[in-house]
């Protein structure tokens, strides 16, 4: 583990830890405490990337986006097109205060469930010689799993920090972790911090 998460070639991703999402997760206090400790333990040793859901302007979203809105909220196509995105308010999109990025961290705004789609993330990692990506954030079964698969398909070592990922749905979170554990490296934050030199 020490070799895989060596800060020389590792980065931390804090995926969508935004006010609107943190308020929905099943284990808010525990999740925030573990993530805050982890970030403090690695800050200054490796790059930290934060992502923020930033929806496309209404009328410019994909038809698939409208379909999933219809499916999740049980509404008509006309209602889906008019419905404001739950992240449309700036305060909803803000990173949660306890884990707010520093001026040295990188914030990536994106509109998909993969950190690689429509961003410069991969180019930045290649430029920096990063080969390991550690994932934290919300939601385990959506953006974490999607981005982890994309990372491994691009040849990156992929690490999921199990007590620093969460979801609004505990059952889906736990199921996703089981799948992720079969495909990637899954460790808790204490194990990760022990593998990183002080």
Q: Give the pLDDT score at 175.
A: 97
Please provide the average confidence, as pLDDT, over all residues in the chain: 91
Residue 114 host element (H or E): none
Residue 132, classed as helix, strand or coil, is: strand
Do 11 and 129 meet the contact criterion of CB atoms below 8 Å apart? Answer: no
Band the pLDDT of 62: cuts 50, 70, 90: confident
Over residues 56-75, the mean pLDDT reads 72
Domains and CATH numbers, the chain: 7-56+94-195 (3.40.50.850)
Does a cis peptide bond (omega within 30 degrees of 0) precede residue 110?
A: no
How far does the chain reach from its first CA to its final CA, in angstroms? 15
Give the whole-angstrom CA distance, residue 128 versus residue 175.
Answer: 34
* DSSP conformational letter for 139: -
Q: Give the pLDDT score at 26.
A: 96
Band the pLDDT of 63: cuts 50, 70, 90: confident
* DSSP conformational letter for 101: -
Lowest mean pLDDT among 43-57, 69-83, 145-159, 177-191: 69-83
Over residues 132-158, the mean pLDDT reads 97
Give the whole-angstrom CA distance, residue 198 versus residue 192.
Answer: 12
Q: Give the pLDDT score at 137.
A: 98
Residue 134 has pLDDT above 80, yes or no: yes
* DSSP conformational letter for 141: I
Q: What are phi and psi of 150, to 5 degrees?
A: -60, -40
Residue 78 host element (H or E): helix 77-82
Lowest mean pLDDT among 70-84, 120-134, 164-178: 70-84
Q: Report the candidate in 51, 64, 46, 62 with the shortest Cα–Cα distance to residue 115.
A: 51
pTM: 0.90
Residue 72 has pLDDT above 80, yes or no: no
Q: Give the pLDDT score at 189.
A: 98
Q: What are phi and psi of 52, to 5 degrees?
A: -135, 130
- Tell me: the pLDDT tens digits for 84-125? 555 566 677 799 999 999 999 999 999 889 999 999 999 999
Residue 83 has pLDDT above 60, yes or no: no
Band the pLDDT of 5: cuts 50, 70, 90: very high
- Tell me: the pLDDT tens digits for 179-197? 999 999 999 999 999 999 8
Using CB atoms within 10 A of its CB, is residue 127 exposed (0-12), middle (13-18) or buried (19+)? Answer: exposed
Residue 51 host element (H or E): strand 48-53
The two three-digit tokens of residue 149, written as one number: 């698969």
């Amino acid at each position: 583990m020490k070799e895989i998460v060596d800060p020389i070639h590792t980065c931390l991703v804090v995926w969508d830890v935004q006010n609107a999402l943190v308020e929905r997760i099943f284990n808010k206090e525990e999740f925030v405490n573990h993530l805050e400790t982890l970030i403090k333990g690695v800050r200054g040793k490796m790059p930290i990337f934060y992502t923020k859901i930033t929806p496309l302007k209404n009328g410019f979203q994909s038809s698939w986006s409208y379909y999933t809105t219809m499916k999740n909220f049980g509404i008509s196509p006309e209602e889906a097109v008019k419905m404001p995105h739950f992240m449309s308010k700036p305060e909803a999109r803000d990173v949660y205060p306890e884990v707010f990025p520093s001026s040295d961290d990188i914030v990536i705004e994106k509109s998909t469930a993969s950190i690689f789609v429509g961003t410069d993330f991969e180019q930045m990692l290649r430029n920096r010689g990063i080969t390991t990506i550690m994932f934290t954030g919300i939601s385990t079964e959506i953006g974490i799993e999607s981005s982890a698969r994309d990372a491994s398909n691009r040849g990156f070592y992929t690490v999921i920090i199990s007590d620093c990922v969460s979801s609004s749905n505990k059952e889906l979170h736990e199921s996703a972790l089981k799948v992720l554990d079969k495909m990637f490296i899954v460790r808790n934050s204490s194990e990760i911090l022990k593998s990183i030199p002080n």
